[in-house]
Amino acid sequence: MVIKNIITAVKNIYFGPTVTRMCPEVATKLSDRFRGLQKLDKDKCIGCGICANTCPNNAIKIIRARINPESDKQRWFPAIDVGHCLFCGLCIDQCPKEALSNSKVYLTGIIRWNHEDLLFTPDMLAREVDINAEDEAGEEVSRWTPQ
Ligand code: SF4
Ligand code: SF4
């Protein structure tokens, strides 16, 4: 039995299918239903707060942010504490304006060492700043205070 197992293992090393990948160099193929970091369409968002009220983990806070990178005008938008997000998708399902959607971002841009770095501002959710280069983004990625 032991010999048989060893033979099977050796055979698989040379002739079996590849079962491991170099991550993140080789990306995992994701299904269309995959729920990664939320994406915000600021033009559609009306700041109603339904997403925040719906979130089962209290991960969303409605804060004031610029309506777009070129303007000084501000409105209310959701910010998401991704460190507390379950990626359940309820905020997306309940948004009356379809302002929130799923993206396939789940590695670069999300993996951070500190909880406060997982607080995604509206600018970040709208991808108005490069979420992979927060050091260069300066004030653009100023965080909201964790509750
Ligand atoms: S994302 Fe949708 S639910 Fe959330 S505040 Fe904007 S419009 Fe309302
Ligand atoms: S995906 Fe779920 S847990 Fe995450 S912010 Fe939306 S409602 Fe909250």
Pairing of strands 39-40, 119-120: unpaired
Q: How far is residue 74 CA from its own chain's centroid?
A: 23
Q: Is 69 in the pocket of ligand 1 (CB under 6 A)?
A: no
Q: Is 78 in the pocket of ligand 1 (CB under 6 A)?
A: yes
3-state secondary structure of 132: coil
Per-residue confidence (pLDDT) for residue 12, from 0 to 100 = 86
Q: Six-digit token pair at 73?
A: 């005008």
Burial 59-84 (b: 16+ CB within 10 A, else e): bbbbbebbbeeeeeeeeebbbbbbbb
Per-residue confidence (pLDDT) for residue 25, from 0 to 100 = 77
Divide the 147 residues of the chain into consecutive groups of 10 and give the mean pLDDT of each group: 89 83 79 94 98 97 95 96 96 98 88 87 93 55 46
State in Å: Cα 93 to ligand 1 middle: 10
H or E segment at 100? strand 100-101
State in Å: Cα 120 to ligand 2 middle: 12
